[in-house]
Structure 1
Amino acid sequence: MYRLLIVDDEEMITDGLYETLNGRNMGLDLCKAYSGKEALGWLHRTRIDIVLSDIRMPGIDGIRLLSIIKRDWPHCRVIFLTGYSDFDSVYQAIQTPGVQYLLKSEGYPKVIQAVSAAVAELDDSLRKDEMVQHAQEKLNTLEVLARGEYFRHLLNSAKPVPSNLGEDFRKLNIPLDAEKPVYMAQGELSHASTSVSSYANRQESALAVTLLAESFLSGQARSLGMIDRFGDPVWFVQPSADRTDGNEAEGGAFILPYLEGQFELFQKACMDSLGISVAVTLRDRPCDWKELSSIYDKIRRQRQRKTGDGALMVRTATLDETDGACSNQERSPREKSDALAAHLDAGRRGEFLLLFDELTGSEREIGASYLLELYYTISLVLLSYINRWELGNQVAGVSALMRRDEFSSWEEAFAFLRKTAETLFEIRSSGERNRAAEAISKVRAYIEEHLDEDLSLVRLAGYIHFNPSYLSRLFKQESGVNLSDYIEHARIEQAKELLRNDELKVLEIGVRVGYEASQSFTRFFKKATGVTPQEYRDASRM
């Protein structure tokens, strides 16, 4: 979902544009600001994809906004509105790609047309264009492979980070500063196709996704991506030098919302161009390089607590000392069990069962000693998961996992392991659904209690700690209605109740349900009910 910000110092124009675009059901998340300064607040807090702004405003005008937008959000499209006769001179003065100009006198149809064109441009830019081609050209370079191997060593080694980290970075041409902290993000891939691809295809897809993300992050950040030993992408990010030179605080404050916004655009590009859904978990603050391995393990644990299906989610993880990392003892020494554990942790049921069947399908052709090792290797993967998530009372026959002699045949023993794994996937899926329902219930309660406040998608997403696009999709999935429609309905019902049972003035009731301007409240109410607030009050008291 694209996010559109309307900016004008004339409240009536801002509200009118908001209501007009909202009524067109264009699939946009709409925000509004009544000054350039308020617009900057939005731009510093979240990703904005389209800005519809007046050029002439007191304080921070549209031209100043444009320079900030092009610096911070290079993918953003800008549509300028002007009511001045010198439109041609303004147009000649500002020749910037991605910018449109309209006269206010051209009316709403022209605005809707311009917004539709901006949406189409954004769609085109996120398809398999030059960024994807550039990423694919780098797939098999020795430099990329060497960097990935080096960072896998850093993440999985029990030894401290080497003191000559900076020297290693220079030799491998790693575009990061070994003296400064680094943000870490982890990805989780799901192919649109229901079939499980080959190992080579999965690796190729993961590498394409990893490098594509670097293209999106390059505007305001230095980044490096790699594939970890579980086949998942991992990114290391620092603010670009020109963001931090002389002002570390500015770079640090901006980089997190920038990363969240760019990862959302990157997710859409992956789905549209590669047919791959990518969930991203991003730590909310940078870590020292010596903490890299520990933070990596902690983020992997946080990824298990996703809500709903987690697809296309950008989650910002807040880690503290109680977030334990997986110990070395939890990591089986067998390569195949590593893959099984990764699939189980990520909830990839199809991949897990396919690998399980590959491992256990040739039991008659191998010796009993190997089968015994295989049985207990898989048992340990399952038992480790059960213990970590305290599921012992929800899984039947847990004690039999470590007693192979309870089964009369290998076929029966492996069938028991398979059934146990399927039970774990069912428990996980049920928990995700329950957490989704709980999260949406929490959002509904917040809406009901704050009808007089800003209920933008960005604010609600911040309250529940989801990215806005994911919250919008999850709300529709759980509730059957769009979030914006739910908010409008709640405001209408509250307004009706106050009009029927309270002596407040119509203007005061409008404020109670989130409308500071009486004209906006009247338009909103009449559009929904067919009558004005006063007409509704008079009819209800007859």
Structure 2
Amino acid sequence: MAYRVLIADDEEIIRQGIEFLVDWERLDCSIVERCANGQEVIRFLEQSPSGVDIIISDIRMAGADGLDIARYVSQNQIPVQVIFLTAYADFSYAKTAIEYSVTDFVLKSDISEGLPRAVEKAKALLAQKQEEQKKRLDAEKLSRQNRRYHLESLLRSVALGTGPRAYDNLKDEEPYCVVTFEVTDSPQAVPSSGPASMAEPHIIRTALMDYDTVMIGLSSRQCCGIIFLDKSRHTAGGLVKALHDTIHIVEEYLKADAFAGVSREHLRMQDLEAAYQQSILALNNVFYSRNRVNCFDPKITDGTDSPVLPSIQQLIESLSEALRSDSPETILGMLEDYCASFIKSGEPFHIFKKNMLSVYTVLTADVKQMDMMDEWEMQKADESFYTTVETSKTFFGIYESLRKYLALYLRLRENFSGTQSSLIRQVNSYIHKNYNQNISLQTIADTFLVSCGHLSRLYRKETGVSLISAINNRRIEVAKRLLKDPRNRVFEVARAVGIEEPTYFTHLFTQVTGVSPSAYRKQLESLGGHPL
């Protein structure tokens, strides 16, 4: 890299002499600017402070002189070396020049030999300062990395309740608050879609890039972080707005509902555990505020005026009665009231987890009995909810997941039993369970002791499709799921759904989906394994 040189002298012949008497290419330098006085140099530095490496200037010039240039460079800490040219051997300016760290003096009568030596000296000083700056930056980077690692370890031990709390090596810095984020399944997604991942919260780090943050993932649904507040740039209102923007980005990226709880502002790192607990309490306040971002408010969770908490047996009996009487609004309201009462009661969080698992068991028993979801979907729903209960650290996260499952269940229940007769519901359940057997209109009619003609007409009237189409649609639905596994060959998938002849299976699959099984699998691979 060529060093950039600026020449300043009020005599044009001297400027030309400097340019032509020195082999600048051999010195690995290039002249980038020529100035007739100090004002021009200072103007250049104001506009481009990093545009030059070495300034060669006459000491005495009309107006601003060489000392004015050196003073400006020193006061503004511009990383440039200054070399003075002088026609005087007494160096009457030496004391002031030393004060401003001038690199060297060169007599104008010795430009051809003295100036190259001074330039080499300036280059060596620049290289030395660059090396010192690199070491300083490396040390600062290492210090930041160590600080971040220490804070991440401390925050993880606080959030997970593991390990010692090592505060000794942390000094109190700028004010901070703790934020905990939690995502829940999207209302449009059935529980089988699985949890969105917050285990690596890089999205949040990027969204809050204007803040100094330390973020850690706690589970696939939750993460938390320390946000340091620079009072010269940040306000409480600005942080809340930034968190709302972050929530929007997270929801768009993960296709899930997201919420945040924010602690009070703290000054001492020893208060980190209290700040984290405040963020969790703030997140639970979603029950009352319904806001995406919730700031800690002790008045909401102070335990005063707590309603009587019913026992879990009473809750389950009430839910079961509401299920029998087909009162979905009553069921949802009952669950919300219980959760809100539980938070106010101050009962341990692990008891809440246990109780919600009991409620979920009651609901899923009804779903499984009525065959509203196939076995695979039910298994994925179970896994999703159990993961939520295991990993969530908030009442709200568990409640929200259960509420959405309950809403899905009620929707399925309404669709399942709303317009269909008892016979058709039984037929659908039979198809659901026996799609992989050699079933037909005749075998189903024989099973339910009705004629083929009556069953065919009734089924089409109530469902809008033929019974044979319903059987084939069920088989293709399962086949599409099996084709996602590359280990399953097409003829094996055909047999798994009750079709012995691979050619007929390919014909039927193409008729229903518009593409062959092999083409469908290729489309899956191109889309990263996601179903069409």
Q: What is the TM-score when the length of structure 1 is the normalising length?
A: 0.31
Q: What is the TM-score when the length of structure 2 is the normalising length?
A: 0.31
Point out the structure with max Rg over C-alpha: 2
